[in-house]
Amino acid sequence: MSSRSSFITSLAPLCIIGGLLYAALYIKPAGGGTALEPPVIAPRDHFYAMVQAAAGQFWAVGNDGKVVLGDGRGRWQVQASGTRAHLQAVDAWDARHALAVGNEGTVLSTGDGGQTWVKVAAPVSATANKLMRVQALPEGQAVAVGEFNTVLLGSAYGRHWERLTPEQDVAWYGLAVRGSRITVAGEFGRLMQSDDLGRSWRAITTPTEAHLTAVAFADERRGVAVGLNGTVLLSEDGGRSWQAVGQGGEEHLYDVSWDGRRFVACGDRGLLLESVDGRAWKALDAALGEARNFLWFSRVVPGAEGLLLAGATLGVVHGDRFISLASEAAGTSGPASAAPR
């Protein structure tokens, strides 16, 4: 063995040991795939509202500024809303134009199908400014209502807003617009109406002190308002007078809609009711089974293929079947099994 190779072999062990020590100091186990895609619908998500904008195009909005666009088959994609405020309501003019409103006076508007949501400044109160409802009207107009006597009229697809009512300590939760008649319902059984798109208002007395959460009309005369503790009010004169109607339960009701042939209402504990005349109500929740006990729905609106439900989860009711839209797998199955938190 030559002296040179002997020199090399005697250095080799030191090199190996040095290399290992270096490795011990600087090699860390790999972090292992930190770029995880969060699930589109997370267990923490609550969806306060959903709307069908066009065939196969649904928007749902919810807590922590979540906006998702779906195909009605359980496939959803998250859209960047740019806000963390809870979004309480959404409505759309068409496949491209939509509005979402929510906590902290948030008004979001899109003109490109939700690719970009733009935050719009609206004349809300600095004291209390949660916006609870929005409704799109023809020609790019819209109305939104919320806390501190807020009723806003929007134009240019929600880019511009004016305040229709002075700041007062009353929160409005429900909204129904037919033609130029606006009906708003709110806390402590309060209700008011305008026949001139909000230029002038008349207060309407109702036979309840419960908070009213929603109001809807079937035609010029017949309307229903619902509220907490199972409250249901019926009007047969276009909203000028209201009478309490029993529906057999005391769970909170959060929404009521007219789907063209009947009123539908939803609320806590998976409560889902229907009534053709607004007076005789029957439960529609057989499809929910056991799951109804921990589900709640804050919005029920008609969609092309059935009733759309938003709340603890997203779903659609076809006839007497409830189909969860909260996961792709559930999009094909029958009774609700989706478990919210």
Partner 1 sequence: MLARFVDFCIGRRALVVTVIGLLTLLMLGAASRIHVGTDFEDLLPRHHAYVEVHNRFKATYGSSNAVTIVLEAEQGDIFRTDFLERLRTVTLELRKVDGVNPEQIISLASRKIVDVRSSSDGLESRPLMFPEVPSDAAGLAELKARVQRNGLVLGSYVSRDLGAALVTVDFYDHLLKPEEAFRQIRAIADAVAGPGVRVRMVGEPILAGWVAYFLPETLTILAATLAVLGALLFLFSRTWRGTLLPGLAGFTSGCWALGVAALAGIQFDPLVIVVAFLITARSISHSVQLVTRFDDELKAGAATAREAARKAMFGLFKPGMLGVIADAGCMIIVILVPIPLMQKVAVIGTVWVSTIALSAVVMTPVLLSWVRLPVRHAHPINLMPGLDRAMAGLARRVVGRNAYSVVAVAGVVFVVSGWFAFDIRIGDANPGSPILHQDSAYNRDATEINRRFPGTDRMFVVLAGEQADDIKRPEALETMNRFQRYMEAQPEIGASLSLADLIPVIKRVMRDGNHHYEEFGRNQNENGELLYLFSSGGADPSDLERLADRDFKTGAVTLFFRDHQGDTIRTAVARIKEFAAANPLPGMQLLLAGGFAGVTAAVNEVILASQIESIALALLVLVLCCAVTYRSPNAGMFFMVPVILANTLTFSFMAWKGIGMNINTLPVAALGIGLGVDYAFYIIDDIREELRHGKSLEEAIALALAGAGKGVTVTAGTLILAVAMWGFSSLRFQSEMALLMAIWLGISAFSALVLMPAMVVVFKPGFVMGTARAASVARPLQSIQP
Residues that bind partner 1 (CB under 8 A): 1, 6, 9-10, 12-14, 16-18, 20-21, 23-25, 27-34, 36-39, 42-44, 46, 48, 63-64, 84, 86, 88, 103, 130, 132, 173, 211, 213, 228, 252, 254, 268-269, 293-294, 296, 298, 311, 339, 341
Measured CA to CA, the distance from residue 313 to residue 309 in angstroms comes to: 8
Smallest distance from partner 1 to CB 19, Å: 8
C-beta of 28 vs 260, nearer to partner 1:
28
- Burial track 27-51 (b if 16+ CB lie within 10 A, e otherwise): eeeeeeeeeeeeebbeeebbbbbbb
C-beta of 11 vs 55, nearer to partner 1:
11
Smallest distance from partner 1 to CB 78, Å: 12
Question: Tokens 């909260």 label which residue?
Answer: 326
Smallest distance from partner 1 to CB 140, Å: 27
Contacts with 10 (C-beta within 8 Å, 6 or more apart), sequence order: none
C-beta of 73 vs 269, nearer to partner 1:
269
Smallest distance from partner 1 to CB 192, Å: 20
C-beta of 195 vs 251, nearer to partner 1:
251
Smallest distance from partner 1 to CB 237, Å: 29
Measured CA to CA, the distance from residue 202 to residue 193 in angstroms comes to: 5
C-beta of 42 vs 286, nearer to partner 1:
42
Cα-trace Rg, the chain: 27
Measured CA to CA, the distance from residue 284 to residue 99 in angstroms comes to: 30
Measured CA to CA, the distance from residue 144 to residue 91 in angstroms comes to: 10
